[in-house]
Structure formats: C-alpha cells, structure tokens
Amino acid sequence: MNPFIDINLTELESKTLTAFIGGLYAEPGFSDVDVNDLSKELEIPTKVLRGVLGSLVKKGIVSVDENGGGYDIIYMREKYWYLVNEDWAAEARVGC
C-alpha cells in the first residue's frame, strides 16, 4: 500500500520522502536527518536532492533548517506526521 496515495508526488519525491521517514526514529518532531545523509543513501547528487526537497518544501510536507554548522536538517511538517508512525500521528492530533 502506498502511504502517499493522497499526496501528489513525483517518483523521486516519493523515494526521497520514504528514505527521510526511515531516518526518523526519535520523539515526534525531532529530526537529525541531513541532506547529505539522504544524498548518500539514495545515491542522488546533493544538488538534485536539494531540488527535490525544495519541491517538498513548496508542497508544505517538509522544511529544511540550514543550521549554520554545515548541516541542513530536514523536518516533517506536523500535518504529515501521520506518515511517520502511530506515535507521531497521535502527537499531531494532540497538538491540533
């Protein structure tokens, strides 16, 4: 079953989002997933991945925090926490 069925994503956006979600393991809202990590995992050049992430940002699914320390951390927007797991989904409902 495709969890992104109701979201209009390209194949590359879907692949990127799947890999990103796979890296989210901590408490709801937390991320330490860096653009470079995804680039290596997906074997996609960073420049291409930044374009894909830019599209996901425009769609309101993720945000990217350029923290000034050389890392660009990707965060899931709360509206889409349900895609991560049940704990994240429950936390998003509480925050509404």
Which residue ranges form the domains of the chain, and what is each CATH number? Answer: 11-95 (1.10.10.10)
Long-range pairs for 24-29: beta carbons < 8 A, 24 or more residues apart = 24/76, 24/84, 24/88, 28/81, 28/84, 28/87, 28/88, 28/91, 28/92, 29/75, 29/76, 29/78, 29/81, 29/88, 29/91
Reply yes or no on whether the pLDDT at 33 is more than 80. yes
What is the structure's pLDDT at 16?
Answer: 96
Please state whether the predicted TM-score (pTM) of the whole model is above 0.95: no
Q: Quote the mean pLDDT of the chain.
A: 90
